Amino acid sequence: MAGFLISVSGSVAPAWHEVEHSTQLRTDTAWLEAAWADPRTRVLVVEDGQTLARVGDGAAELVFFSPAQVPDGTRFLLGVDSDDVAYFGVAAAIPDPDSDVRRAGLRDAGTLLTDRDAGLLAHAVGLANWHAVSRFCSRCGAPTEPVIAGHVRRCTAEGSEHFPRCDPAVIMLVTDPDDRCLLARNAQWPPRRVSVLAGFVEPGESAEQAVAREVFEETGVLVGAVTYAGSQPWPLPHSLMLGFRAQATGTEIAVDDEEIAEARWYSRDDLREALLSGDLIMPPSLSISRWLIETWYGTRLPHPAAT
Ligand SMILES: [Zn+2]
């Protein structure tokens, strides 16, 4: 888990961000042209949420191209690092990989990447996903074209501007009056895999209201106090996960049997035992769900020696 930021005692949620987004440069056409002509410039080619990575034992690094090597596609500026190296993404067909590299995405390689690489990949994948579904104007149906270094699409018929979407979702660790934590298994997950609850924010709803609604819908548990904990970008395809702690006012559980197959309360001892015996499997270590659980648990979660 190279360089992945986590603090189980503090309030730092998983986030990746080491290359400045450099928003002021997106309208500087002379700078953009010079950066694209600079062989030091590093380009990620993104296709279907994936790029090329060199994956080794317990670590992975992204494969960057120089601008001259990159196939035609939708180009966007990702940012500039502290050495003044510019980073771009291009949504295009990924060139055939060399033998030592392979296609990789956030899900399979996210935990293996450095913070810088994970941040660049999350940014690039989020923008590429948005470009892929935004080729036509949602107002009039005419084609749109990328402008502002690939961060806006403009309607070619009437000039309306369309911005990348970022859908808010809530993810919440619910505790009961005895400070036990509510973990649930999604109906689509394999046996033994559990996590905290999550759901999308609906129009007209605050994030805190979404927390209370989702917890009640999925498990029948009523919550009182809801407090913000931290957030994580999750561009699959375009979400921002807002993490919360929620206090249940009761302990009775009635799962919805649609989205959630089972749910129960765990004390810290219950959870430690279930993890060590292999009765439970936790979310991957890059996820805000695991971070929320670990902030409640108080330290890193144990895992069986065999895995
Ligand atoms: Zn239009």
Distance 126 CA to ligand 1 centre (A): 23
* pLDDT tens-digit readout, 172-207: 999 999 999 999 999 999 999 999 999 999 999 999
* pLDDT tens-digit readout, 287-306: 899 999 999 999 999 876 54
pLDDT given at position 3 = 30
Distance 128 CA to ligand 1 centre (A): 21
Task: Name the strands in the sheet holding 42-46, side by side, starting at the edge strand that comes first in the sequence.
Answer: 42-46, 86-91, 74-80
pLDDT given at position 15 = 61
In this structure, the number of other CB atoms found within 10 A of the CB of residue 44 comes to 27
Task: Kindly give the residue spans of alpha helices, DSSP state H, lying in the chain.
Answer: 29-37, 106-109, 115-132, 207-219, 268-276, 288-297
Distance 21 CA to ligand 1 centre (A): 28
Statement: residue 116 has pLDDT above 70: yes
Statement: residue 109 has pLDDT above 90: no
Distance 121 CA to ligand 1 centre (A): 30
pLDDT given at position 304 = 66
In sequence order, the 6+-apart residues with CB closer than 8 A to the CB of 26 are 32, 77, 148, 149, 151
- Go through 107-125 and write b for each residue having 16 or more CB atoms within 10 A of its CB, e for each that does not: eebbbbbbbbbbbbbbbbb
Distance 146 CA to ligand 1 centre (A): 13
pLDDT given at position 10 = 42
Distance 48 CA to ligand 1 centre (A): 26
pLDDT given at position 14 = 60
Statement: residue 156 has pLDDT above 60: yes
Greater pLDDT, 165 or 284 = 165
Rounded distance between C-alpha atoms, residue 110 and residue 113, angstroms: 6
Statement: residue 307 has pLDDT above 80: no
- In contact, 144 and 160? CB cutoff 8 Å: no
Distance 125 CA to ligand 1 centre (A): 25
Distance 163 CA to ligand 1 centre (A): 13
Greater pLDDT, 123 or 107 = 123
| Mean pLDDT, the chain, whole residue set | 91
The amino acid that residue 197 corresponds to is L
Burial zone of 264 (CB within 10 Å; 0-12 exposed, 13-18 middle, 19+ buried)? middle
Distance 157 CA to ligand 1 centre (A): 5
pLDDT given at position 8 = 40
CA atoms within 13 A on the CB side of 212: 12
- Per DSSP, the three-state class of 11 is coil
Rounded distance between C-alpha atoms, residue 202 and residue 210, angstroms: 7
Q: Between the CA of residue 22 and those of 18, 117, 152, what are the distances in Å?
A: 12, 17, 15
Read off the DSSP letter of residue 144: E
Residues pairing with 164 in the sheet: none
Q: What do you get for the CA distance between the two ends of the chain, in Å?
A: 15
- Per DSSP, the three-state class of 15 is coil
Rounded distance between C-alpha atoms, residue 54 and residue 180, angstroms: 41
The lowest-confidence range among 10-24, 129-143, 185-199, 232-246 is: 10-24
Q: Per-residue DSSP letters for 246-289? A: EEES-------SSSEEEEEEE-HHHHHHHHHTTS-BPPPTTSHH
Phi, psi for 88 (deg, rounded to 5): -125, 160
